[in-house]
Amino acid sequence: MTLRSTLTLLALACMVPGCSSDNGTTGGGGDVLLPPGPDAPDRDQGTDERTVPDLPVPDSLPDMADPGGEDGVLALDLAPVDPGLPDPGLPDLGTDPGSDLGTDPDAVAYGRCNHDSECPEGLVCDLPYLDAAYGFCSRTCNHDSECPASTLPIPQGCHKEPGALSGWCTSLCGIHAGGSTTCEEWLQCVASQWCLPPSTTVPTKGPGESCRGGAECLSGECIEGENTRAHCALKCSSDGDCAGPNGQWKGTCVSAAGLDYNFCIWMCGMMASGASCPGDLQCVGMSVCQ
């Protein structure tokens, strides 16, 4: 056999199955990797076509919150917590009313308010005077029996202004409550009679000056008698406290049922050696300041 014939046989031998070369064109089993024909089905070259048996699915999954995992490793429940839901393990402490207040002042009888919608059914938000810090939940009335109970064990009554056809329900204090000044803690005992909202007025008025509430008075008390106009009181412990600057007034230190302090009443004219009256009080009958 000639050399040319030998080389030809070797070249043909490399074309039969099993012949490999360094260019990696054969598979591990010796199959030649040829490009797929146009009629060949699609095939993912990275997927093994062997059939995978269906695995049984357990009826229930293990509880991942059980700390008894392998080797004592604590398995944590990583499910997100809904921030809108309260923790069922903690008591509901409610909303801090802001003083603020041991009893929630909103949506209760005599509670503080700014609009009718903030009051219980049947009550409206009453602003008792122009400089009130806020209103309070009340209702119109003609008799004490028409007034709802307070959140405290204190009496209630129908507060009528002089000449008014009807009044407003409020809690009673001072002379109407045996001298007690207890009111709902967001209200104040005004004129030693009625529990009303505080005033925004800065106190500037002195003894005898006309007033509509203690908030206007330097003494903190506005008093009114059966025959005496409402005026700022001058608190005292003796008659000498009623003399005023340079002894220009002549007064007597007295007490009144229902008040927890003493206050001055003044004489004038012939009964007081010509002494004048303090503030806005007038000398009546040349004898007493009213």
pLDDT digits (tens, 9 = 90+) for 105-132: 568 999 999 999 999 999 999 998 888 9
Count of domains for the chain: 2
User: Both 241 and 185 in a single domain?
Assistant: no
Is 32 inside a domain boundary?
A: no
Alpha carbon distance 171, 159 (integer Å)? 9
- Residue ranges of E strands in the chain: 112-113, 124-126, 135-138, 140-141, 156-159, 167-171, 188-190, 194-196, 222-225, 228-232, 235-236, 250-254, 262-267, 283-284, 288-289
User: Both 120 and 190 in a single domain?
Assistant: yes
pTM for this one?
A: 0.45
User: Both 133 and 173 in a single domain?
Assistant: yes
Is 39 inside a domain boundary?
A: no
Alpha carbon distance 168, 195 (integer Å)? 11
Domain end residue (candidates: 146, 180, 196): 196
Is 104 inside a domain boundary?
A: no
User: Both 171 and 241 in a single domain?
Assistant: no
Residues of the chain with confidence (pLDDT) below 50: 2-4, 6-35, 37-38, 40-53, 55, 57-58, 60-104
Is 47 inside a domain boundary?
A: no
Whether the Cβ atoms of residue 156 and residue 144 lie closer than 8 Å to each other:
yes
User: Both 190 and 238 in a single domain?
Assistant: no
**DSSP helix/strand/coil, 169:** strand
pLDDT at position 59 is: 53
Is 143 inside a domain boundary?
A: yes
Is 170 inside a domain boundary?
A: yes
Cα pseudo-dihedral 181, 182, 187, 190, rounded to 10: -20
Domain end residue (candidates: 157, 180, 196): 196
pLDDT at position 107 is: 81
Q: Burial level of 194, CB count in 10 A (0-12/13-18/19+)?
A: buried
Whether the Cβ atoms of residue 120 and residue 108 lie closer than 8 Å to each other:
yes
pLDDT at position 199 is: 82
Question: Residues 6 or more apart from 260 whose CB is under 8 A from it?
Answer: 179, 181
Is 154 inside a domain boundary?
A: yes
DSSP, residue by residue, 191-202: TTTEEEPPB-PP
The closest alpha carbon to 196, from 277, 135, 274, belongs to 135
Q: Burial level of 10, CB count in 10 A (0-12/13-18/19+)?
A: exposed
User: Both 266 and 191 in a single domain?
Assistant: no
Structure tokens given for 77: 């429940």
Is 256 inside a domain boundary?
A: yes
User: Both 191 and 118 in a single domain?
Assistant: yes
What is the domain range of residue 178? Answer: 112-196
Q: Which residues pair with 138 in a beta bridge?
A: 124
